[in-house]
Amino acid sequence: DQQVKQNSPSLSVQEGRISILNCDYTNSMFDYFLWYKKYPAEGPTFLISISSIKDKNEDGRFTVFLNKSAKHLSLHIVPSQPGDSAVYFCAAAAQGGSEKLVFGKGTKLTVNP
Amino acid sequence: EAQVTQNPRYLITVTGKKLTVTCSQNMNHEYMSWYRQDPGLGLRQIYYSMNVEVTDKGDVPEGYKVSRKEKRNFPLILESPSPNQTSLYFCASSPYLDRGYGYTFGSGTRLTVV
């Protein structure tokens, strides 16, 4: 049973426009959410996170929004750049301090020049 | 440089031949974990360790073993590899109870079992 879902396997946007990547979760015990970015032949790298006590967190061009009632979060990239082309993974952690991250299947973002 | 180092990067082996993938981190992190990435399945946790001599199963532990004798090292052992263990493997580490940082991942080990 998939607890973290990224329903769009791929997304294509034009350079300079907004990229919106979506993620849904089913486990109400999740209280911390993270986004990772992965280039081919490299390990995932941490991008941005948000705690369940917030509904928005911003870091430069990247903003994550959390809607707890809908169990939905999204990553906005504005403006998108060709170097943002990568696979983006959404991940979630539950209360209890086990540090276990549950990952979605990923969304491949392509930013076209 | 703070990093997680995995070796080897690429490995082709035959069914049943025991192998070990090494993982080492230089950040003094308590928490380490192994994931596998498969097409259409994302990242799935194999095993994790919350500190030296403390390990536990993740979501897909069958066919794997781990050990944590030193804080910096967390090797993944395949006692009798099978073709369904062909995958891309990632080791990760994290400061314990510090979610603001998230995991640091290694560069990956692409394993092919024939």
Q: Over the stretch B36-91, which tens digit does the pLDDT of each residue have?
A: 999 888 899 999 998 899 999 998 999 999 999 999 999 999 999 999 999 999 99
| B86 phi and psi angles, rounded to 5 deg | -65, 120
B21 touches chain A (CB under 8 A): no
Q: How confident is the model at residue B96, as a pLDDT? A: 67
Task: Annotate B53-72 with b (16+ C-beta within 10 A) or e (fewer).
Answer: eebeebebbeebebbbeeeb
A88's tokens:
């983006």
Task: List, in order, residues 6 or more apart from B71 with CB less than 8 Å away.
Answer: B28, B29, B30, B51, B52
- The distance of B15 to chain A (nearest Cα, Å) reads 25
Q: Which chain B residues are Cβ-neighbours of A43 within 8 angstroms?
A: 4, 90, 92, 105-108
Q: How confident is the model at residue B2, as a pLDDT? A: 81
Query: Which among A6, A34, A100 is the nearest to B45, CB-wise?
Result: A100
Q: How confident is the model at residue B52, as a pLDDT? A: 92
Residues of A with CB under 8 A from a CB of B: 6, 32, 34, 36, 41-46, 49, 51, 89, 91, 93, 97-106
User: Quick count: other Cβ atoms within 10 Å of Cβ A43?
Assistant: 22
